[in-house]
């Protein structure tokens, strides 16, 4: 159960005051984390760490509207941002995450922009909008690749960056891109659960499986191997 309260927040971009939700507590019963780190339940019900506030005046989208980002005002005023904010091609919550990703990317928080994009993809999954989810996953993967190249860490133990990337590409049906990362990761001869998860992804890729699979499923399969 998620308990959501409203609080009065002043937008750091335009100083407009508005009532915004604050998530105070989320208890998730049952379910297991997906291999791309998605928590169980719908994004709407599990937005503990990914809640988003939207300024009704300027359209600033951020986890907390009081937080300042470099060049935020400029980006928000841009046509690209305003078009994304109202895009009919995505669910509203996905647009908010994508707008937030745009601000983070501009501020140089590339990995965080990747996470916000991935959250937008999960919202599209919940809305059964596969086309939008696929497009956003490609964007999330590109941002994560860029973040990794810059030396940013995206591991969420025991799920490593390799598994996250393989899973994102697999989920959007880009089996070639997923296969290359998988082959590289398997060559590294690491041990433990991390490599077992890569092996599990390898099995899914061989079956060209685009579905959502969880850590729990992977561990069950791994433990009988
Ligand atoms: Zn504002």
Does 206 fall in a domain?
yes
Tell me the two tokens of residue 217. Answer: 């499923």
For residue 111, being part of any structural domain is answered with no
* DSSP designation for 64: S
pTM of the model as a whole: 0.91
Q: Ligand 1 centre from 56 Cα, in Å?
A: 7
Residue 171: inside a domain: yes
Domain count, the chain: 1
User: At 194, is the pLDDT very low, low, confident or very high (cuts 50, 70, 90)?
Assistant: confident
Q: Kindly state whether residue 22 falls inside one of the protein's structural domains.
A: no
Q: Which of 106-120, 182-196, 199-213 has the lowest mean pLDDT?
A: 182-196
Task: Decide if pLDDT at 224 tops 70.
Answer: no
Mean pLDDT, the chain, rounded, equals: 90
User: Residue 50 has what pLDDT?
Assistant: 47
Domain membership of residue 178 as a residue range: 155-225
Residue 4 pLDDT level (bands cut at 50, 70, 90): low
44-59 residue pLDDT tens: 665 544 479 999 999 9
When computed from its CA atoms, the radius of gyration of the chain, rounded to whole angstroms, is 18
Residue with the bigger pLDDT between 83 and 20: it is: 83
Residue 172 lies in a domain: yes
Tell how far the Cα of 159 is from the centroid of ligand 1, in angstroms.
36
Tokens at residue 164, please? 């996250």
Residue 143 maps to a domain: no
Contact criterion met (CB below 8 Å) for 76 and 58? yes
For 85-101, write each residue's pLDDT tens digit. Answer: 999 999 999 999 999 99
Confidence category of residue 84, pLDDT binned at 50, 70, 90: very high
Q: Using CA atoms, how far apart are residues 171 and 168, in angstroms rounded to an integer?
A: 5
Rounded to the nearest angstrom, the distance between the alpha carbon of 52 and the centre of ligand 1 is 14
Tokens 């895009």 belong to residue: 87
Q: What percentage of the chain exceeds 90 in pLDDT? A: 74
101-113: average pLDDT: 96
Query: Distance, CA 153 to ligand 1 centroid (Å)?
Result: 31
Residue 25 dihedral angles phi and psi, to the nearest 5°: -160, 135
Report how far ligand 1's centroid is from the alpha carbon of 11 (Å): 5
Nearest to 196 by CA among 222, 214, 170, 178: 222
117 Cα: distance to centroid of ligand 1 (angstroms): 21
**pLDDT > 50? residue 174:** yes
Q: Interhelix angle for 110-126 vs 130-149, to 10°?
A: 160
Task: Report yes or no on 191 lying in a domain.
Answer: yes
pLDDT of residue 39: 87
Q: What is the sign, positive or negative, of the torsion defined by CA atoms of 57, 67, 72, 26?
A: negative
Q: Is 161 within a domain?
A: yes
């Amino acid at each position: 159960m998620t308990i959501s309260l409203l609080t009065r927040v002043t937008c750091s971009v335009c100083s407009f005051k508005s009532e915004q939700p604050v998530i105070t507590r989320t208890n998730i019963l049952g379910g297991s984390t997906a291999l791309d780190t998605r928590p169980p339940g719908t994004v709407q019900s599990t937005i503990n760490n990914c809640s988003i506030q939207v300024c009704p005046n300027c359209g600033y989208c951020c986890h907390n509207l009081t937080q300042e980002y470099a060049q935020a005002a400029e980006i928000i005023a841009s046509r690209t941002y305003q078009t994304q904010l109202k895009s009919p091609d995505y669910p509203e919550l996905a647009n908010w995450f994508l707008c937030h990703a745009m601000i983070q990317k501009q501020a140089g928080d590339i990995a965080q922009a990747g996470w916000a994009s991935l959250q937008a993809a999960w919202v599209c999954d919940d809305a059964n909008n596969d086309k939008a989810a696929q497009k956003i996953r490609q964007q999330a993967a590109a941002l994560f690749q860029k973040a990794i190249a810059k030396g940013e860490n995206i591991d969420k133990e025991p799920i490593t960056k390799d598994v996250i990337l393989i899973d994102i590409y697999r989920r959007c049906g880009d089996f070639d891109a997923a296969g290359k990362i998988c082959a590289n990761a398997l060559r590294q001869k690491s041990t433990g659960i991390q490599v077992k998860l890569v092996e599990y992804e390898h099995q899914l890729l061989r079956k060209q499986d685009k579905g959502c699979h969880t850590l729990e499923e992977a561990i069950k399969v791994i433990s009988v191997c």
